[in-house]
Amino acid sequence: MEEPVEALAAPVMIAALDGWIDAAGAATNAADHLATDAERVVDFEGDVLFDFRSRRPTLDIIDGTLTEVSWPGLSIDRAGIEGRDLLVLHGAEPDFRWRELGDSILQVCLRLGVVEWVSLGTIPAAVPHTRPVPVLGTASAPGLLKHEVQQGPEGLLRVPSAALSTIEMAVTGSGIPAVGFYGQVPHYVGGPFAAATLALLDHLGRHLGITVPLGDLPEQAMTQRQRLDAAAASDEDTREYIERLERLVGEEQRIPSGDEIAQEFERFLRNQGGDRPADPAGPD
């Protein structure tokens, strides 16, 4: 690990991993956006974390010559926004050693003086793309969520865990407070969904009291919205389905029940034929 030379200013660890709880890749896109031009602080050893037959490296072949292999990775980068130090944990969800990784990341947090942990995720949901992206909140203690973020769902929700959640619990076990922001992505969206990325960055910025530069994300969101609108307009069944979702959601955003969220997870498990969907935002 290469630690920053100068002291960090009340650093916050912001974490998002691909795969599970990353519908449409919107959460990792948010983390990658924060880490643009950031300083690398930690590189984790991929050979001990990943199953390369399950998550194969990408091979570039140019004119019949094997040119470059891009390996899945996991890292922590340091970014600064408005004088606030952000440590961004992002990359591929590990296949192995989740408990050891949680302990290692906890030690990094303690060594660098992390004052808060923020998890970012996105989940498939029965919501229309025509409405603002609903964001659920989690918190390790009462009073941590700000700005009327809805915490939920109420009661017991039992779903397959993501590595991100196990790491968060290892960190909070040491006393570091944690919150999570989880955007709900329409389950019929099969590609990138910048609107959810924007919603997560908005909630993160308001929570930390900073303005996160958004780059071209608003333009991406507008283009994707136009494409989805056009697809819906060209198919009567799709249009009627989206209208039904709009009636279900109503004018007021609501927290889905634990049963509703669990049903969405189960549906995606069935559609993908396993417990690790390759594209958690894939179409029905």
From the list 248, 255, 127, the residue with the least C-alpha distance to 188 is: 127
Cα angle 263-265-266, degrees, rounded to a multiple of 5:
65
Residue 5 has what pLDDT?
40
Residue 145 has what pLDDT?
92
State how far the Cα of 85 lies from the Cα of 6, in Å rounded to an integer.
Answer: 11
Q: Taken in order 164, 122, 40, 210, is the CA torsion positive or negative?
A: negative
Query: Taking every pair of C-alpha atoms in the chain, what is the biggest distance, in angstroms?
Result: 60
Residue 29 has what pLDDT?
97
Residue 284 has what pLDDT?
36
Residue 101 has what pLDDT?
97
Residues in the chain: 284
Residue 265 has what pLDDT?
54
Residue 279 has what pLDDT?
37
State how far the Cα of 174 lies from the Cα of 106, in Å rounded to an integer.
Answer: 8
In order along the chain (284 residues), what is the average pLDDT of each group of 10 residues? 65 95 96 95 96 95 97 96 95 97 97 97 92 94 86 80 96 97 92 96 96 96 94 87 81 56 56 42 37
State how far the Cα of 116 lies from the Cα of 133, in Å rounded to an integer.
Answer: 25
pTM of the full predicted structure? Answer: 0.85
User: What ranges do the domains of the chain cover?
Assistant: 12-272
Residue 82 has what pLDDT?
92
Q: Identity (one letter) of the amino acid at 122?
A: T
DSSP 152: -
DSSP 272: H
State how far the Cα of 101 lies from the Cα of 123, in Å rounded to an integer.
Answer: 23
Residue 260 has what pLDDT?
60
What is the CATH code of the structural domain delimited by 12-272? Answer: 3.40.50.10900
